[in-house]
């Protein structure tokens, strides 16, 4: 009977050790899984195309339209300056042509 108790005690000790090792393995695997899942989430955020919402598209369109309107005003102002400059040049050429 004493031998039986000794054998069962050793078996319990071995099983406790196996449980501790399995728990450590599980903990390590869980930590690794969490890291991999974080990395996957980061990749998905970078790589997966997301459709713009209507509000985002509308805001982008309004900003683009405002920029185009501003560019048009600038170009119209430059066109007026070029026309005035061309008229002055033409007047000077005519005056010199008449004076010569």
Among 29, 50, 71, residue at a domain's last position: 50
Residue-level pLDDT at 33: 97
Question: In which band, very low, low, confident or very high, does the pLDDT at 52 lie, cut at 50, 70 and 90?
Answer: confident
Residue-level pLDDT at 99: 57
User: What's the rounded Cα separation, in Å, for the pair 65 and 21?
Assistant: 65
Question: In which band, very low, low, confident or very high, does the pLDDT at 76 lie, cut at 50, 70 and 90?
Answer: confident
Residue-level pLDDT at 56: 92
Q: Are residues 2 and 45 in the same domain?
A: yes
Among 50, 69, 86, residue at a domain's last position: 50
Contacts of 52 (CB under 8 A, 6+ apart): 60
Residue 33 in tokens: 């899984």
Between 1 and 65, the higher pLDDT residue: 65
Q: Are residues 20 and 33 in the same domain?
A: yes
Q: Are residues 42 and 64 in the same domain?
A: no
What's the structural domain count of the chain?
A: 2
Which domain does 18 fall in, by range?
Answer: 1-50
Q: Are residues 35 and 58 in the same domain?
A: no
Q: Are residues 12 and 39 in the same domain?
A: yes
Residue 75 in tokens: 């170009």
pTM of the complete model beyond 0.85: no
């Amino acid at each position: 009977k004493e031998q039986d108790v000794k054998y069962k005690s050793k078996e319990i000790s071995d099983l406790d050790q196996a449980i501790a090792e399995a728990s450590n393995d599980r903990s390590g695997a869980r930590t690794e899984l969490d890291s991999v899942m974080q990395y996957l989430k980061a990749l998905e955020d970078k790589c997966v195309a997301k459709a713009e919402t209507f509000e985002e598209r509308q805001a982008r369109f309004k900003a683009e339209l405002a920029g185009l309107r501003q560019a048009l005003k600038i170009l119209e102002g430059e066109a007026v300056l070029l026309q005035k400059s061309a008229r002055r040049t033409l007047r000077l050429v005519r005056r010199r042509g008449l004076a010569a």
